[in-house]
Amino acid sequence: MLLLDAVRDNIDGMSSSCTITDDTQATGAFLRQLREQVGLSQRDLASRLGCQQPAIARLETGGVRPNLLTLQRIVEALGFELEIQAVDRQRALTTGVPAKAKRPGHSHEPELRCDFQKAPA
């Protein structure tokens, strides 16, 4: 049971624990803003993703660096579409990769934006 909980606690192994940085905190704040906009608790989102609430808390505080598939999965679980802009390598390394989330059929709502930074070397 404990092993299963450890796997579920890590959003099905699709993210990695990391040192908290400004970039991971910005990503976490972006995802928290999306979750709060739709009125879900961390526990509700965890249930949709098949993980446990502490995994969502670590994600939102910047203690986890989700990969791209995990970001898309989380955003879609919240009812949004994730759009990531293709940029040249130098821009991605220096200023990040621009991304936005929007809810289909909710054109009156502002898009939420975030620049996802490169992983540290």
The pLDDT value recorded for residue 59 is 92
Domain membership flag for residue 121 = no
Classify residue 9 by its DSSP letter: H
Domain membership flag for residue 100 = yes
Domain membership flag for residue 78 = yes
- DSSP string of 45-102? HHHHHTS-HHHHHHHHHT-EEE-HHHHHHHHHHTT-EEEE----HHHHHHT-EEEEEE
Domain membership flag for residue 79 = yes
CATH number for the domain that contains residue 24: 1.10.260.40
The pLDDT value recorded for residue 66 is 83
Domain of residue 20, residue span: 2-116
The pLDDT value recorded for residue 117 is 55
CA count, 13 A, side-chain hemisphere, 67: 8
Question: Per the structure, how many domains does the chain have?
Answer: 1
The pLDDT value recorded for residue 64 is 85
The pLDDT value recorded for residue 24 is 84
pLDDT tens by residue, the chain, 121 residues? 223 333 334 555 555 677 888 878 888 998 999 999 999 999 999 999 999 999 999 999 999 888 888 888 999 999 988 887 777 878 777 776 777 777 777 665 555 556 555 544 4
Domain membership flag for residue 83 = yes
The pLDDT value recorded for residue 2 is 29
Rounded CA gap, 121 and 119, in Å?
Answer: 6
The pLDDT value recorded for residue 119 is 44
